[in-house]
Amino acid sequence: MPVPLFDTQSPLRPLRAEILAAIERVVDGGHFVLGPEVDAFERELAGWLGAPHVAGVANGTEAITIALRALGVGPGDEVVVPSFTFYASAEAIPPTGATPVFCDVDPETLCVTADTVKAALGPRTKAVVAVHLFGNVAPVEEIEALGVPVVEDAAQAAGALAADGRRAGALGTVATFSFYPSKNLGALGDGGAVVARDAELDDRVRTLRFHGSRDKVTYEEVGYNSRLDEVQAAALRVLLPHVDAWCDHRRKVAGWYAEEGLAGPAAAPGTTPAWHLHVVRHERPDAVANALAEAGVQARGYYRTPVHAQRAMLPFPPRVPLRATDEAARTHLALPMSASLTREQVSEVARAYGLAA
């Protein structure tokens, strides 16, 4: 049987009636933007995270831009960001007027560390975007100890826990989430959120997400039209209570892969990753992916060309060597991972991988 890279449908089937009822509730209520469902989801997500403030926005990319703007990042500033990540982590920086400065990642965890960030810091550094890559947990507290605010990019890490038990997304000055459908907590379309440590930051986020206005009459600055809609919020309210169980299953899947000799990145010390993706390393990853495809197993390289080498980012060349980034980009391969993947499917992937490799 084919084994898909993602399976977003199976976890939703038992919740179908509840999701449809939530959508019907929105339609019957007639309030479609920034209404009671968004308010309720913001409160529920904040409670789940153990964070004081959450504001829903249109998507994860704008969440990062708005978070940076809320921190006061602007023209002339620099923001340190890893290059081994999804393009949006860096793409969100230039719209603030600031310059992305690329740092390396740890070769074992594939996340940024205090050391890799420190190597890229400069006198104009205003913030750091720390990506919890693949659902692993970056050492946010250690990075903040360098004296710069940290924006947690937790898009892939809903359900991950730091060593002290706090949730990813509630570790830094401000954090961002994407609710793209393939994420651990995925909506029925685009959606995002900004998590703020204090009320002043939260107020600024809410102003920026609504055209730079607090009252729809007075516009204090150029903001964004970036609002989580009611339908997505209603669906996310149904899904949120299931994220921990889904992530527990993802961790089981990672353990099954390890039993098959296909271990993923090392967990950051003491943490409990959420494993959005299961990534292995191989000297010929694309050839293996092609062979797996012939066996009905989906696999792919996500960041074969790291962000700093993408055409749009060439005006911002790295100032420090990115050796771990280049090696990870060259050798990584994502294997099937989902909240519904079975032990039998993992064994099938392992058999096909063994033949392909």
Contact (CB, 8 A) for 330 and 354: no
Residue pLDDT, tens place only, 310-325: 999 999 999 999 999 9
- Asked whether residue 194 falls in the same domain as residue 263, the answer is no
Residue that terminates a domain, selected from 185, 219, 241 = 241
Q: Please indicate, yes or no, if residue 294 is contained in any of the structural domains.
A: yes
- CB atoms closer than 10 angstroms to residue 28: 8
pLDDT of residue 357: 72
Instruction: Identify which has the larger pLDDT, 32 or 111.
Output: 111
- Asked whether residue 218 falls in the same domain as residue 253, the answer is no
- Asked whether residue 254 falls in the same domain as residue 187, the answer is no
4 band by pLDDT with thresholds 50, 70 and 90 = very high
Q: Please indicate, yes or no, if residue 276 is contained in any of the structural domains.
A: yes
Residue 145 token pair: 């100890």
Domain count, the chain: 2
- Asked whether residue 113 falls in the same domain as residue 227, the answer is yes
Residue pLDDT, tens place only, 131-165: 999 999 999 999 999 999 999 999 999 999 999 99
3-class state of residue 21 by DSSP: helix
Q: Please indicate, yes or no, if residue 1 is contained in any of the structural domains.
A: no
- Asked whether residue 282 falls in the same domain as residue 315, the answer is yes
What CATH number is associated with residue 141? 3.40.640.10
pLDDT of residue 219: 95
Q: What 8-state DSSP symbol labels residue 334? A: E
- Asked whether residue 195 falls in the same domain as residue 328, the answer is no
Average pLDDT, the chain: 96
Q: Please indicate, yes or no, if residue 2 is contained in any of the structural domains.
A: no
pLDDT of residue 314: 98
- Asked whether residue 266 falls in the same domain as residue 340, the answer is yes
- Asked whether residue 229 falls in the same domain as residue 249, the answer is no
- CB atoms closer than 10 angstroms to residue 283: 9
3-class state of residue 124 by DSSP: coil
- CB atoms closer than 10 angstroms to residue 322: 25
Residue pLDDT, tens place only, 276-306: 999 999 999 999 999 999 999 999 999 999 9
Residue pLDDT, tens place only, 182-238: 999 999 999 999 999 999 999 999 999 999 999 889 999 999 999 999 999 999 999
pLDDT of residue 1: 74
Q: Please indicate, yes or no, if residue 3 is contained in any of the structural domains.
A: no
- Asked whether residue 111 falls in the same domain as residue 190, the answer is yes
- Asked whether residue 185 falls in the same domain as residue 107, the answer is yes
Full-model pTM: 0.96
- Asked whether residue 140 falls in the same domain as residue 115, the answer is yes
| pLDDT at residue 336 is higher than 90 | yes
Q: Please indicate, yes or no, if residue 5 is contained in any of the structural domains.
A: no
| pLDDT at residue 275 is higher than 80 | yes
pLDDT of residue 356: 80
What CATH number is associated with residue 344? 3.90.1150.10
Report the candidate in 342, 344, 345, 318 with the shortest Cα–Cα distance to residue 329.
318
- Strand ranges inside the chain, DSSP E: 53-57, 78-82, 99-103, 125-131, 150-153, 174-178, 192-196, 278-281, 332-335
Residue that terminates a domain, selected from 195, 216, 241 = 241
Residue that terminates a domain, selected from 196, 219, 241 = 241
136 lies in which domain range? 10-241
- Asked whether residue 120 falls in the same domain as residue 201, the answer is yes
